[in-house]
Amino acid sequence: MHNTAVAHAHHAEHPNGIWRWITTTNHKDIGTLYLCFSLLMFFVGGAFAMLIRAELFKPGMQLMDPLFFNEMATLHGLVMIFGAIMPAFVGLANWMIPMMVGAPDMALPRMNNWSFWILPFAFILLLSTLFMPGGAPASGWTMYAPLMLQTGTAFPFTIFAIHLMGISSVMGAINIIATILNLRAPGMTLMKMPLFVWCWLITAYLLIAVMPVLAGAVTMELMDKYFGTSFFNAAGGGDPLLFQHVFWFFGHPEVYIMVLPAFGIISEIIPTFSRKPLFGYTSMVYAVASIAFLSFIVWAHHMFTVGMPLAADLFFMFTTMLIAVPTGVKVFNWVATMWRGALSFETPMLFAIAFVFLFTIGGFSGVMLALVPADWQYHDTYFVVAHFHYVLVTGSAFAIMGAVYYWLPKWTGHMYNETLAKWHFWLSVISINVLYFPMHFLGLAGMNRRLPDYPVQFTDLNQVVSIGGFVFGVSQLLFVACIILCVRGGKKAEAKVWEGALGLEWTLPSPPPYHSFTEPPAANLIWAHPYQND
């Protein structure tokens, strides 16, 4: 005990100013860095989306060359996925997992510092391609060969940026696994972990499994372009479809990497504001595990139109439909948690309820897309764009926003401004449906995705979509305002910020000490955990 105290005193002498942030190995500092970085990237990716929606406000080309439009669509995807959503979840993991499992810090703090500081360089590399001859990559975030091979100077820079992002993710994932498996407080067995921790543990394994696959796919493209190989060149005996198979073997688990931690967040927020323990804890854990397993055997549902054999089409259709079962179990469990609870509607709960409604709508269109014959009509249209924005924005991004409001008082020691936050929520949830719902109709009517220009009959709905997009974009400034105001001051937050909150993080003061649990939490604190009653 004595030694720990000395070590603590020593660690407390961290440098100030910019060096504190560059050299920090503290999980809270790194979590803050991740979250700030992801917020910045959310606005960069959002700016690209605003340009896309501005060009699509009217038929005809008004603002940009079609090629620049393709660059915007590509960078919007890459920045939002690798720059906004994934780092936000890693930031939340950094902040919350040590506090939730009763640990002082992450298990591998030095690597933690590295895994964050690689990211800014990766994105400087990626975004610098905008200023290169030939422009940024313009082949969509999926980087399909052979189109990707037509990229100009930006090509190797994009690929090395992807490599850096992959290294950062894998390091973050290793750290999270090491923390969860080694630093849990005595008495916290695996089946007593909070659901957020469970979801992240499974997500981290997915990351380690598939990020190297993406690295392999883009490296093969690099080889094809500069070293004379023909992995994807049909004329040289290669196979353009090989890229798609390898890419989606990464890409589908990636979808769940971006949504499983969101499941974890929602499973924390809904019980708190329902004042009722999570329904079906065990089945939630098994559902997440089976979703993770299924995510490895469904990848070709992104490729139903490439002309696979009938047997392959049937296999991937059936496995894809199967995912609806564990996902359904999760939704039913959330509904059952709310059922006969005593609900109150603070901003985190509003985001969580919106998540369940809107993610489920994305799930419905997912079931529709799973049916191969119907997919032939939906594939690569705005119907797909609507589907994955419902699961990624009203799914993942809403969960992240809910999580920020949920834990912000814990992080800063101040309550956020509830009125401003509610404005942010309502403006977001209304505008986002104006933005994404009409996309279903556009897709069904025949509008393809990734179009810089469109036939005139799609004009009015595109204008509705664009207006929704602009309002959603501007509303996010309220989010920034809420965060800044809350960091600066506000009503003092108690240790247990929310009346119904359960879990170790609420036993620490707000804000928590620099090293969360320098001593293991008392056993009775873990015993207070709702899952313990089983």
Partner 1 sequence: MLQKNFKKALRGVIASSLALISGSAFAIDLNMPVGVTPMSHDVYDLHMYVFWVCVGIGIVVFGLMLISIIWHRKAAGYQPAQFHENTAIEVIWTIIPFIILIALAIPASKVLVDMTNTSDPDMSIKIEGYQWKWQYDYLQNGFSYFSTLATDSNAASQLDSGINPISVPHYLRDVDHPMVVPTGKKIRLLITANDVIHSWWVEDFAVKVDAIPGFVNQAWIKVDKPGTYRGSCSQLCGRGHAFMPIVVVAESWSDYQKWVAAMQTSHGAFINPATLQPEQNGSPVVYAPAELNFNAPTPAPTQATATATPAAAPSPTPGSAAAEVKPAGKPVVAGKSWTMAVAMVRGKQVFDANCAACHMADGKGNPAMAVPAIAAGPIPNGPLAAHISLVLHGKGIMPAWGNILDDADLAAVITYERNSFGNHQGDLVQPAQIKAAR
Active site residues: 76, 105, 141, 168-169, 252, 254, 256, 267, 301-302, 327, 330, 449
CB of 444 to partner 1, least distance (A): 5
Site string for partner 1, 374-393 (x = CB under 8 A): x-xx-xxx------------
Which residue lies nearer to partner 1 by CB, 321 or 487?
321
Cα–Cα distance, 107 to 445 (Å, whole number):
52
Which DSSP string do the residues of 396-440 spell out, in sequence order?
Answer: IIHHHHHHHHHHHHHHHSB---HHHHHHHHHHHHHHHHHHHHHHH
Cα–Cα distance, 444 to 337 (Å, whole number):
35
Which residue from 12, 22, 306, 522 is in contact with partner 1, where contact means CB under 8 A? 306
- Nearest CA to 115 out of 186, 61, 169 is that of 169
Strands, E assignment, 89-207: none
Identity at 513, one-letter amino acid code = P
Cα–Cα distance, 385 to 76 (Å, whole number):
13
Which residue lies nearer to partner 1 by CB, 223 or 371?
371
The answer to the question of residue 356 lying near partner 1 (CB under 8 A) is yes
Contact region for partner 1 (CB under 8 A) — 76-84, 118-126, 361-369, 415-423? 361-369
CB of 344 to partner 1, least distance (A): 4
Tokens of 405: 């409001």
Which residue lies nearer to partner 1 by CB, 283 or 507?
283
Site string for partner 1, 238-267 (x = CB under 8 A): xxxx--------------------------
Cα 425–Cα 426–Cα 432 angle in degrees, nearest 5: 90
Which residue lies nearer to partner 1 by CB, 116 or 334?
334
Which residue lies nearer to partner 1 by CB, 207 or 329?
329
How many other C-beta atoms are found inside a 10 Å radius of the C-beta of residue 486? 24
Q: Which of residues 120-139 bind partner 1 (CB under 8 A)?
A: 133-135, 138-139
Which residue lies nearer to partner 1 by CB, 111 or 324?
324
The answer to the question of residue 268 lying near partner 1 (CB under 8 A) is no
Site string for partner 1, 422-461 (x = CB under 8 A): -------------------xx-xxx-xxxxxxxxxxxxxx
How many other C-beta atoms are found inside a 10 Å radius of the C-beta of residue 2? 6
Beta bridge partners of 492: 414
Q: Packing angle between helix 398-412 and helix 86-101, nearest 10 degrees?
A: 50
Q: Which of residues 20-39 bind partner 1 (CB under 8 A)?
A: none
The answer to the question of residue 344 lying near partner 1 (CB under 8 A) is yes
